[in-house]
């Protein structure tokens, strides 16, 4: 059975290989970083739990994070916002309505009030803070798990947000491995200014043009791209090849269907952000076992091709076609707006780095 390798040098990896049940493999003969599997075998993507194991527990809660680790996820992805009194909380939406049923925004309340809320979804969990997550990641048996911080911007609060995050990280001494090896942060410019030197940074987006422009100014970042973008015939395959050639780590979000999971494995992406890390690990196991079979019947090969296809049926082809067309139209409109407002992606990126 194949072992997990780090997504790329310096990124917060799972330093010890894990088996498909999520247990750390202490075999001294396990492959080490940089060691390539023999012949046709390739590195498998790491499982990144989107807002924790949000398929089975309320998103961005400690219960969701624990369930993700128990399922074998290599990393946890979460969203960061500021409360009115400057506490870094884990919340995706600016509004409390969807997850907590409150008709107000996170930034309208102090932590003393936010801490009393409970999720609408059972088992009715409290809101979590960044400090809670970091302390959990320090617990025995969890030190191998890394975290992706999707930093949300509320108006002009970006510098304060990054400063608060840096303070929280500094307040929790890391066990065994420094946080710079376990944290992957978004929001590039502010992260570079405020986070500890060596902190890994990733761009989250849907535009390959903007991502390419960013890499000119920040060549050591990772790229987290919307799945439909990577599947578009005009932009996806070439972008994947270029990132692989340049050694840029490439992640994809949010992948919950088995066909997309198999597609991500076959395209050798570095990490898959998913609501269901357990299912993704099972898909990886099946794909990996299939790659090891030396003799496969022709009929079985055809069946495997169908499973790997994002289309599968006429209905699937129609759905994918609509999704690809829509994302391409959105991308085109966005580029036109960017062109008129800032002169295009390259100038926009240059301005942001020069400011």
Residue 110 has phi, psi (to 5 degrees) of -80, 165
Q: Is 158 helix (H, G, I), strand (E, B) or coil?
A: helix
pLDDT (tens digit, 9 = 90+) per residue, 46-101?
A: 999 999 999 999 999 999 999 999 999 999 999 999 999 999 999 999 999 999 99
Q: What is the pLDDT of residue 308?
A: 53
For residues 21 and 203, what is the distance between their CA atoms, to the nearest angstrom?
30
Residues 1-14 as b/e (b if ≥16 CB within 10 A, e otherwise) read ebbbbbbbeebbbb
- Report the predicted TM-score, pTM, of the whole model to 2 decimal places: 0.83
- Give the list of residues 6+ apart from residue 101 with CB closer than 8 angstroms, or none: 120
Q: Which residues contact 302 (CB under 8 A, 6 or more apart)?
A: none
- pLDDT tens per residue, range 129-188: 999 999 999 999 999 999 999 999 876 578 899 999 999 999 999 988 999 999 999 878
Three-state DSSP class for residue 120: coil
The pLDDT assigned to 27 comes to 35
Tens-place pLDDT, residues 248-306: 999 999 999 999 999 999 999 999 999 999 999 999 999 988 865 533 443 454 455 55
Q: What pLDDT sits at residue 311?
A: 57
Closest to 201 (Cα-Cα) out of 212, 216, 213, 190: 190
Q: How far apart are CA 325 and CA 297, in angstroms?
A: 37
Separation in Å, CA 314 to CA 64, 258, 322: 36, 17, 12
- In this predicted model, what pLDDT tens digit does every residue of 310-341 receive, in sequence order? 656 677 778 888 888 888 898 899 899 989 88
Q: Give the total residue count for the chain.
A: 355
* 123 upstream amide cis, omega within 30 of 0: yes
Q: Does domain 46-289 have CATH number 3.30.70.2740?
A: no
Distance (Å, rounded) from C-alpha 148 to C-alpha 277? 15
Evaluate the CA torsion angle 293, 297, 301, 304 in order and state its sign.
negative
Task: State the pLDDT confidence band at 309, using cuts at 50, 70 and 90.
Answer: low
Cα distance between residue 94 and residue 154, in whole Å: 8
- Torsion of the alpha carbons at 315, 319, 322 and 324, rounded to the nearest 10: -130
The answer to which of 33-42, 194-203, 244-253 has the lowest mean pLDDT is 33-42
CA separation (Å) from 225 to 5, 240, 337? 21, 10, 20
Q: Using one digit for the tens of pLDDT, what is the confidence trace for 208-241?
A: 999 999 999 999 999 999 999 999 988 999 999 9
Termini Cα distance of the chain = 49
User: What sign for the dihedral angle of Cα 330, 333, 336, 338?
Assistant: negative
Please give the pLDDT value at position 109.
98
If 0-12 CB within 10 Å is exposed, 13-18 middle and 19+ buried, where does residue 340 land? exposed
Q: Distance from CA of residue 348 to its chain's centroid?
A: 24
């Amino acid at each position: 059975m194949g072992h997990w390798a780090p997504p790329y040098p310096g990124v917060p990896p799972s330093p010890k290989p894990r088996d498909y049940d999520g247990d750390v493999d202490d075999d001294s003969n396990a492959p080490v970083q940089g060691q390539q599997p023999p012949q046709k075998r390739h590195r498998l993507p790491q499982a990144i739990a989107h807002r924790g194991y949000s398929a089975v527990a309320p998103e961005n809660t400690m219960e969701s994070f624990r369930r993700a680790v128990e399922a074998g996820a290599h990393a946890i992805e979460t969203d960061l916002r500021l409360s009115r009194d400057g506490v870094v909380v884990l919340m995706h939406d600016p509004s409390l309505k969807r997850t907590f049923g409150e008709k107000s925004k996170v930034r309208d309340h102090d932590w003393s009030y936010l801490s009393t809320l409970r999720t609408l979804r059972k088992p009715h969990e409290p809101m979590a803070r960044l400090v809670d997550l970091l302390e959990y990641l320090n617990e025995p048996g969890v030190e191998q798990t890394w975290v992706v911080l999707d930093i949300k911007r509320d108006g002009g609060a970006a510098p304060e947000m990054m400063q608060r995050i840096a303070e929280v990280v500094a307040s929790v001494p890391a066990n065994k491995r420094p946080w710079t090896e376990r944290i992957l942060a978004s929001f590039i410019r502010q992260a570079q200014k405020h986070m500890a030197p060596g902190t890994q940074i990733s761009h989250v987006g849907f535009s390959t043009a903007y991502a390419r422009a960013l890499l000119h100014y920040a060549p050591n970042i990772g790229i987290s791209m919307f799945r439909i973008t990577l599947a578009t015939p005009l932009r996806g395959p070439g972008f994947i090849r270029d990132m692989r050639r340049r050694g840029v780590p490439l992640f994809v979000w949010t992948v919950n269907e088995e066909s997309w999971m198999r597609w991500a494995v076959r395209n050798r992406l570095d990490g898959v952000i998913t609501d269901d890390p357990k299912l993704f690990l099972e898909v990886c196991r099946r794909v990996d076992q299939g790659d090891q079979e030396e003799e496969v019947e022709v009929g079985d090969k055809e069946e495997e091709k169908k499973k790997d296809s994002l289309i599968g049926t006429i209905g699937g082809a129609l759905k994918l076609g609509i999704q690809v067309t829509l994302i391409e139209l959105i991308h085109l409109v966005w580029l036109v707006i960017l062109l008129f407002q800032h002169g295009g992606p390259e100038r926009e990126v240059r301005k942001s780095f020069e400011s």
